[in-house]
Amino acid sequence: MKTTGGSEAEKRAAGESAAETVEDGMVVGLGTGSTAAHAIRAIGRRVDSGLDVRGIPTSFQSRELAKEAAIPLTTLDEADEVHLAIDGADQFSGPHLVKGGGAAHAREKIVDAAADRLLVVADPSKFADELDHPIPVEVLPDARTTVAADVRALGGTPTLRTAERKDGPVVTDNGNLVLDCDFGAIPSPGVLASELAELPGAVEHGLFVGMADEVHVGSDDGVEVRRF
Ligand SMILES: O=C[C@H](O)[C@H](O)[C@H](O)COP(=O)(O)O
């Protein structure tokens, strides 16, 4: 699992805080990444103690973790309602997020958007007054060159994400590629989100505009919950 940003203690505090909000009978979206992993393990411990919950994983990684934690799983097809999603972020500014550092943002966005409430778990290094993190864009392999040209035309600098323990590109859980697109500061995330969503061959981008209902920020001193 990739690790970024703050300490494990900060991430664990955030994850455990969000996991405490899960109630009996809920269907919960299970996010991806090193911070969401702490929430999944904490939910698993509560399942051990009798919590009745079903999880919807957002990636191969979160499904494997949920299975290890013995969290019963379901799917968007089967569940009548997704009461809550708990997910990490690469950067947040108010309720706006950049996600996809683990290339899971397409499935994450589907599950997070389907949930009644999205709780984001983060360490303090993820906060920004204004978003400026490169935006991951998942692209169909055939569209890599054309989407890259479109991103340049929008003022961004696209970089094909390459794998660390494999030669060549990162391939997502959906069999696609990822362009990390640096736009510098993003004063109007909603405008950029709409522009990226329109690009032919772009499957999904990592801007989650206005999607967070709460951000649980873990630190050595405890957890600050920001509500939007
Ligand atoms: O694709 C990955 C996800 O969007 C993660 O939630 C995001 O990258 C944050 O991960 P972490 O908690 O490991 O920093």
Selected catalytic residue, list 8, 23, 81, 108: 108
Distance 90 CA to ligand 1 centre (A): 6
- Domain-by-domain residue ranges, the chain? 8-128+210-227, 135-205
Q: Atom 7, ligand 1: which residue's CA is nearest?
A: 89
Q: Which atom of ligand 1 is nearest to the CA of 36?
A: 12
More confident position, 91 or 2: 91
pTM of the full predicted structure?
Answer: 0.96
Residues 6+ apart with CB under 8 A from 140: 176, 177, 201, 203
Structural fold of domain 135-205: Alpha-Beta Plaits (3.30.70)
Residue with the smallest CA separation from ligand 1 atom 6 is 88
pLDDT band at 22 (very low <50, low <70, confident <90, very high): very high
Residue 108 annotated in active site: yes
Is residue 35 in contact with ligand 1, taking CB distance under 6 Å? yes
pLDDT confidence tier of residue 4, bands split at 50, 70 and 90: low
**Residue 123, ligand 1, Cβ within 6 A:** no
Q: pLDDT tens, 104-153?
A: 999 999 999 999 999 999 999 999 999 999 999 999 999 999 999 999 99
List, as residue ranges, the binding site: 32-35, 87-90, 99-102, 126
108 lines ligand 1 (CB under 6 A): yes
Q: Which residue among 90, 119, 133, 170 is best mutated to probe the pocket of ligand 1, counting the most ligand atoms within 8 A of its Cβ?
A: 90
CATH-assigned architecture of domain 8-128+210-227: 3-Layer(aba) Sandwich (3.40)
